[in-house]
Amino acid sequence: MRPVAAKEKSGNAIVETIKTIVYALLIAGIFRTLFFQPFWIPSGSMKQTLLIGDFLFVNKMAYGYSYASCPSLIMPRFGINIDAKNICGFIDGDNTRFWAGEPERGDVVVFRHPVSGRDYIKRLIGMPGDTVQMKAGVLHLNGAPVDVQDDGMFTEAMEPQGPQALRPRCENGPVGMGGVCEKSRQIETLPGGTSHAILNIGNQTSDRTGVYNVPEGHYFFMGDNRDNSADSRLAQQAGGVGFVPYENLIGRADRIMFSSAGRSMLFFWTWRSDRFFKGVK
């Protein structure tokens, strides 16, 4: 017959294990809410700055905190849909932040989509009060074109990318599997001096827009892969981002920690070691 003391010891061990797990989850939740949030790049809208499969931590301290700082847990496969508003909705609605910091033009920012609530990552192009327009593929801010310099070609293999097996769009026409997919690359310099690479695939509607007047307390975002990005150029009603309120900003992307070109991070032969700990510019 098993001694009572042994049973009590076993029961205590189980309780202690459960408590350890709960404490660990609480600490991780607090860390993610207040300091850094992990983010996987799911699409190619920010190429070449960010590639599908890049893994980074978002600096939440950069802009302070709002309801959007609370993490969302969305896992449709398991029927889980816990939105940040379910947790921190009581501070939503006034478009303000606590310990607020102002974003700078050119920052690469993770924010909550104003309608769907999903996390997006784009480059901050238009500040409150700015006018933004695309003319013949060239960005115009407050009526003046930004400086753009040709910088050769961006190339990548035509193959499925990431867990969703997305295939890249190419400027050099239909490309067969295993072929070389090309896009024109330029260096764009924004007012203030921030320079970054942008990619172009072809002449399309998003290269010719009307004038966007960015409201106070809102921001205008665009992807660096200009012809393959659903961003502020497209209205929210049409599936785009539109103008993003200040309170929807989550944080700034500063550094890529890890990168994998395959469908799983476990496929070590697809790791991009040259992107580990690379700064985001």
Catalytically active residues are 45, 122
Residue type, 132: V
How far is 23 from 32, CA to CA, in rounded Å? Answer: 14
Cβ proximity of 251 and 60 under 8 Å: yes
N-to-C CA span, the chain: 67
The closest alpha carbon to 35, from 14, 59, 56, 13, belongs to 59
How far is 120 from 234, CA to CA, in rounded Å? Answer: 14
How far is 64 from 46, CA to CA, in rounded Å? Answer: 24
Q: Can you say whether residue 277 is alpha, beta or left, with left for phi > 0 and alpha for psi between -120 and 50 degrees?
A: left
Burial class of 126 by CB neighbour count within 10 A (0 to 12, 13 to 18, 19+): buried
The closest alpha carbon to 229, from 37, 50, 73, 38, belongs to 50
